[in-house]
A and B are shown apart, each in its own frame.
Chain A
């Protein structure tokens, strides 16, 4: 069993290493086959160890480093929480790898792509399975590196490479907080093991716990693109679509949620931190949803919707419901991967056109893609009985059930976000599929691999609700039970009907608005609100002015002022000063006899004068 557990992370690692070292020498399908095979193997291995999850499985492969009392192992921890994530990640990653094999059919540099994609899966699984925070950090930075490399995959365009760099640097700002939290936890408890920390959190005093939890939140915000570190995610869409589906929708961006769930015993001790998490999640959800209302590029709409949905997950964690967060994380992973991969198909069909205003009438080019994409949108919008409906509803019910003003406000904002979500989902549907084709590009066919991988995701997205069906629908919250969490909201049947009714009404209302506005195509109207939302509330410009430019100025000052001006100026001044000084001294020894004689005479006079004066005195 332990070997199988190790195999889960070792397979993608070796696939990545093989592709990185030898991929360029292999003939066309082999890099893709190796990569997909490794991930599928990893998926099978994770199914194999799944029965062990309830009992928990822990193993130490080797000691990474140890010094004094500090010890970091490469150790794996497999419990229900990790198991749920591992199965989802390897499953979705398998499908996306196969999809990518079709997507990358004509790409020259496909070996690099598959190497990085496999390494990404390895790093992501390391985050999930790590039994200590430092190893988790290794995965955490590893996914950042792969994300960097893959966003900038088409590096010939400077924008793409810049987007990768932005993603890496912005998430690393969050990582600072994570690092400090790890250091501090070690200093306080003398261990970095996740289970050890969680079992000993009561030893810590409340203020420390609050600060630690907020530091972890900072780390989570970076990776999960939550306020205020969210600005990298929309730009990350510069990467190939399978990358967006895997990294920037299904897995990496949910790492922050996973971190908070992992450290939940610590985080949940601090009411302030919990409120902060709720607030960050809610505000991000709302912010991103408003941005999605006005986007023109299909992938950017989806990017903002991802940010918004991850906001819901944060909300759930903040409300104290880990199982609701994980439930939404799972259903979201399925339908969002589906949406991105569907979007990839649509972009392909429309001749590499990204702008939804240039699409229209895409329905007739591929019926299967149409239905599958619509299925994904229904899940996203929260259509009744889809997976997205149940998981979102559970989160909102948790907020409602708290019963105080703060949480009612959260609930209200959550409902408003749901309304926006439904609206932009159907806006996307109408603009892409309704009416006539408006684009310039020539629609062309799809590789079959790309379409075949979508149905399983649609199945899981639509049916995901079965994982955690509420009592009202005859279920028993299976997932929550399996995760061993008793964190579900207690609401009366009456309120439950009310909540469901509201959710359905919001979904229909959003659809109705979108129907009225976008049923017939009209040129996008230019107004200031639209522009404001399109530019994502102008945060990029704001951050540029607030952070980037002052930073550049500071660096320039250090270089020109400090280094060149002060230090080197001083040194060169010293050098030229002594140079000039010695030059003037040199004239004393220039070999001219009269000058020497003159000097001799003056010296003689001085000495004689001195003795004379002495004699007189």
Chain B
């Protein structure tokens, strides 16, 4: 796997650095807001186009990588610049590019330091793509931390009243997790070096390190600290509702759609393959936390007076489903988890887009001040209804496909877990319907902006809606590319 696949053109690097190049251009053209906006849009569209190009042309080469790049970077420490893309990372990169386009489009009218805003959004793009492609631990860590800074700024500068509180909470939570991960990475590096004499941070080599069970458990816990915070797994989720509530629309889209996915991705790409025995021991704990979080977050969501917090808790609940699938540890459940990850990325982003639009029109996030939106905004409300039902798992719409595969897979190995999780689906209906009820039905609360959807908003919502329906009715094109990576990752886990 370490052998360098001959590539004429570093396509992955292009994909990765393109958004950052956009940032530089933004700085050059910082005088003109218009051009920066267009630049951000064009850059992300280009990333999306390249991603789609790869999706349609690339076929799996050696070791299951579609594209692989490897250069030596800091030789003294054995740090490489290694990027690899398999079906799974391809889908996540596509999701990133797509949601970035959405994020730019919904922040079109932002008026507080727009150039800075769009630069940060672009920077997030590079960070996400880097996380999904990096195969060297240090490189991964670099992008992992790079996500933190723009997001911190987005929440802290463009957020609502309690933005600083939320931003600091987010920062402290994620940083404390990832510092532990960095420690474990260095520890692993040293141990591997002592054993083999080769000091390297390459994921593939480090998988071969021989560890005692105690060492494995300690390292695993450190890695999981970073990932569990990002997922977020109960009880490490407390930063998310605040971050969502305060973040601007685009920030919420990136948070729910992408940032949370990096946690799950980290677990399956790094934590499980590096420490298979510890992972195996932790599965029941993971399952219990996931199940508990699923119910707990749903119950808390049901009580929220703020619509953004409600949807934030619904994310915690859905991610509980994803982790449950991982804990079930079989092909179907894992494919379901990956699928739900993508589907949730789309639906939750769509939900946050809706909430941003609702806020634009009503000036409020509070349930008690909303209602009867259908009366003045039927088109907006129809999309709201569609995305809400996708989120609560209506068959034929996005989330259901992932959930049912998770349930089928989980039932095969752990019938009881699956049966309990089914009840979670009911809870989703209860809190989502409360949201729908309080926003679009009921007596009308006069919105101060009567304008129904404008063209730019149609452009955002129609692709989202089509995607939500397509992913629900025909998820097969997504299941095919993740099949092989999932099989490989399961084998590396080395469990039966």
Residues on A lying within 8 angstroms of B by beta carbon are: 20, 24, 62-70, 109, 112, 134, 137-138, 141-142, 145, 148-149, 152, 155-158, 161-162, 165, 168-169, 172-173, 175-176, 179-180, 183-184, 186-187, 554-556, 558-560, 562-563, 567-568, 571
Contact with A along B294-322 (1 / 0, CB 8 A): 00100110111000000000000000000
CA distance A24 to B452 in the complex (A): 13
Are A155 and B423 interface neighbours, CB within 8 A?
Answer: no
Residues on B lying within 8 angstroms of A by beta carbon are: 169, 235, 238, 296, 299-300, 302-304, 330-332, 335-336, 372, 374-375, 378, 382, 385, 389, 394-396, 401, 404-405, 407-409, 411-412, 415, 418-419, 422-423, 425-426, 429-430, 433-434, 437, 440-444, 473-476, 479, 483
Are B300 and A563 interface neighbours, CB within 8 A?
Answer: yes
Sample of 17 further A-B pairs with CB below 8 A, known A67-B483, A141-B395, A175-B426: A63-B476, A65-B401, A68-B330, A134-B395, A158-B443, A161-B441, A172-B426, A179-B422, A180-B418, A183-B411, A183-B422, A184-B415, A558-B296, A558-B300, A559-B299, A559-B303, A567-B235
CA distance A183 to B474 in the complex (A): 20
CA distance A219 to B408 in the complex (A): 18
Are B442 and A555 interface neighbours, CB within 8 A?
Answer: no
Chain A residue nearest to B172 in the complex (CB): A575
Are A68 and B335 interface neighbours, CB within 8 A?
Answer: yes
**A567: B residues at CB distance < 8 A:** 235, 238
Are A186 and B300 interface neighbours, CB within 8 A?
Answer: no
CA distance A152 to B385 in the complex (A): 13
**B483: A residues at CB distance < 8 A:** 67
Which 6 pairs across A and B sit closest by C-beta, in order of nearness?
A: A161-B441, A138-B395, A155-B441, A558-B299, A183-B411, A555-B299
Are A187 and B415 interface neighbours, CB within 8 A?
Answer: yes
Are B411 and A568 interface neighbours, CB within 8 A?
Answer: no
**A186: B residues at CB distance < 8 A:** 408, 411
Selected contact of B479 from candidates A67, A112, A558, A568, CB within 8 Å: A67
CA distance A175 to B424 in the complex (A): 12
Are A67 and B426 interface neighbours, CB within 8 A?
Answer: no
CA distance A568 to B408 in the complex (A): 35
Chain A residue nearest to B428 in the complex (CB): A172
A331 to chain B, nearest CB (A): 31
**B372: A residues at CB distance < 8 A:** 155-156
**A63: B residues at CB distance < 8 A:** 476
CA distance A444 to B165 in the complex (A): 63
25 contacts between A and B (CB under 8 A): A63-B476, A65-B405, A67-B336, A68-B330, A70-B405, A109-B378, A134-B404, A138-B395, A145-B394, A148-B433, A155-B440, A155-B441, A165-B434, A169-B433, A172-B425, A175-B426, A176-B422, A176-B423, A179-B422, A183-B407, A558-B296, A559-B299, A559-B304, A563-B300, A571-B238
**A165: B residues at CB distance < 8 A:** 433-434, 437
CA distance A158 to B442 in the complex (A): 5
B194 to chain A, nearest CB (A): 37
A573 to chain B, nearest CB (A): 12
**B474: A residues at CB distance < 8 A:** 62, 64
A532 to chain B, nearest CB (A): 29
**B426: A residues at CB distance < 8 A:** 169, 172-173, 175-176
**A556: B residues at CB distance < 8 A:** 303
**A67: B residues at CB distance < 8 A:** 331-332, 335-336, 405, 408-409, 479, 483
CA distance A165 to B394 in the complex (A): 14
B382 to chain A, nearest CB (A): 7
B118 to chain A, nearest CB (A): 32
Are B473 and A64 interface neighbours, CB within 8 A?
Answer: yes
Selected contact of B411 from candidates A158, A168, A184, A554, CB within 8 Å: A184
Selected contact of B425 from candidates A69, A138, A176, A558, CB within 8 Å: A176
CA distance A560 to B411 in the complex (A): 33
**A138: B residues at CB distance < 8 A:** 395-396
CA distance A169 to B431 in the complex (A): 10
**A148: B residues at CB distance < 8 A:** 433
**B331: A residues at CB distance < 8 A:** 67-68
**B394: A residues at CB distance < 8 A:** 141-142, 145
CA distance A161 to B337 in the complex (A): 34
CA distance A20 to B394 in the complex (A): 18
**B235: A residues at CB distance < 8 A:** 567
**B407: A residues at CB distance < 8 A:** 179, 183
**B419: A residues at CB distance < 8 A:** 180, 183
Are B425 and A179 interface neighbours, CB within 8 A?
Answer: yes
Selected contact of B429 from candidates A149, A156, A162, A168, CB within 8 Å: A168
CA distance A149 to B382 in the complex (A): 11
**A176: B residues at CB distance < 8 A:** 422-423, 425-426
**A145: B residues at CB distance < 8 A:** 389, 394
CA distance A148 to B429 in the complex (A): 12
CA distance A494 to B233 in the complex (A): 71
Chain B residue nearest to A111 in the complex (CB): B378
Chain B residue nearest to A178 in the complex (CB): B422
B196 to chain A, nearest CB (A): 36
CA distance A583 to B270 in the complex (A): 40
CA distance A141 to B395 in the complex (A): 7
Selected contact of A562 from candidates B300, B405, B418, CB within 8 Å: B300
**Given A66-B479, A70-B332, A559-B304, A187:B412 Cβ within 8 A:** yes
B437 to chain A, nearest CB (A): 6
Are B382 and A20 interface neighbours, CB within 8 A?
Answer: yes
B164 to chain A, nearest CB (A): 13
**A168: B residues at CB distance < 8 A:** 429, 433
B383 to chain A, nearest CB (A): 11
**B336: A residues at CB distance < 8 A:** 67
CA distance A554 to B330 in the complex (A): 33
**A152: B residues at CB distance < 8 A:** 441
**Given A64-B474, A65-B476, A184-B411, A172:B429 Cβ within 8 A:** yes
CA distance A133 to B226 in the complex (A): 40
Chain A residue nearest to B412 in the complex (CB): A187
CA distance A279 to B159 in the complex (A): 59
* Max count, chain A CB within 10 A of own CB: residue among B169, B299, B437: B299
B67 to chain A, nearest CB (A): 25
CA distance A44 to B408 in the complex (A): 38
A226 to chain B, nearest CB (A): 18
CA distance A494 to B443 in the complex (A): 63
CA distance A172 to B299 in the complex (A): 17
Are B404 and A559 interface neighbours, CB within 8 A?
Answer: no
CA distance A176 to B418 in the complex (A): 11
CA distance A523 to B443 in the complex (A): 35
A187 to chain B, nearest CB (A): 5
CA distance A67 to B330 in the complex (A): 11
CA distance A179 to B419 in the complex (A): 9
Are B299 and A183 interface neighbours, CB within 8 A?
Answer: no
**A64: B residues at CB distance < 8 A:** 473-476
**B296: A residues at CB distance < 8 A:** 558, 562
**A158: B residues at CB distance < 8 A:** 441-443
Are B425 and A142 interface neighbours, CB within 8 A?
Answer: no
**B389: A residues at CB distance < 8 A:** 145
CA distance A187 to B444 in the complex (A): 48
**B444: A residues at CB distance < 8 A:** 156
CA distance A180 to B404 in the complex (A): 11
CA distance A24 to B378 in the complex (A): 9
CA distance A29 to B450 in the complex (A): 27
**A184: B residues at CB distance < 8 A:** 411, 415
B245 to chain A, nearest CB (A): 13
CA distance A64 to B336 in the complex (A): 14
CA distance A554 to B396 in the complex (A): 31
**A563: B residues at CB distance < 8 A:** 238, 300
**A560: B residues at CB distance < 8 A:** 303
Are B395 and A558 interface neighbours, CB within 8 A?
Answer: no
Chain B residue nearest to A215 in the complex (CB): B419
**A155: B residues at CB distance < 8 A:** 372, 374, 440-442
Are B238 and A68 interface neighbours, CB within 8 A?
Answer: no
Are A161 and B437 interface neighbours, CB within 8 A?
Answer: yes
A125 to chain B, nearest CB (A): 14
CA distance A157 to B443 in the complex (A): 6
